[in-house]
Amino acid sequence: MVSLFFIALASATLLPGGSEVWLARQWCLNEPALALWVVATLGNTLGSLVNVGLGRYARHFQDRRWFPASKQGLARAERWYHRLGEYSLLLSWVPVIGDPLTVLAGVFRLPWWRALLWILLAKGTRYALVLVLAQTWLLPLC
């Protein structure tokens, strides 16, 4: 289960990867579903909080030439983020867009506890759904 924690953590950062297959594999090995859900949710949430922290830190470098967003691009992202607000973190589980959303939460200084709340809700729901699907579709294959 330690491997699941670290795979879930890494897959929530800007590194590529996915933890759902590993979660399903662990479930097929008869690991307790509740323990798998807790471990995967905590690991993935912690990985997303790393992104929030990176976003908070990255804002210090916005005036550097190598910064990945122009001032106009950052202003556009800020307008978009403030329109959707912290609720956008409910999409933090979505591949490709979820990681940048967590970075933006840091860039625009969403309080840690609110970021944690929304990310934990999103990630926990996703892993619960993965486990329900594993029990429904993978049971005959395990």
Q: What is the pLDDT of residues 82-121, one digit of tens each?
A: 788 889 999 999 888 888 889 889 988 899 999 999 999 9
Task: State percent of the chain over pLDDT 70.
Answer: 93
What is the number of domains present in the chain?
A: 1
* Residue 26, CA atoms < 13 Å, CB-side half-sphere: 25
Residue numbers of the domain that contains 133:
2-138
Predicted local confidence at residue 34, as pLDDT: 95
- In whole angstroms, what is the distance from residue 55 CA to residue 108 CA? 8
Question: What would the pLDDT profile of 52-83 be if each residue is shown by its tens digit?
Answer: 999 888 777 777 776 666 777 777 877 877 78
Q: Report CA-CA distances (Å) from 72 to 62, 79, 101.
A: 11, 11, 18
Report the C-alpha gap between 9 and 39 in whole angstroms: 10
The pLDDT of residue 67 is 66
- Report which of residues 36 and 135 the model is more confident about: 36
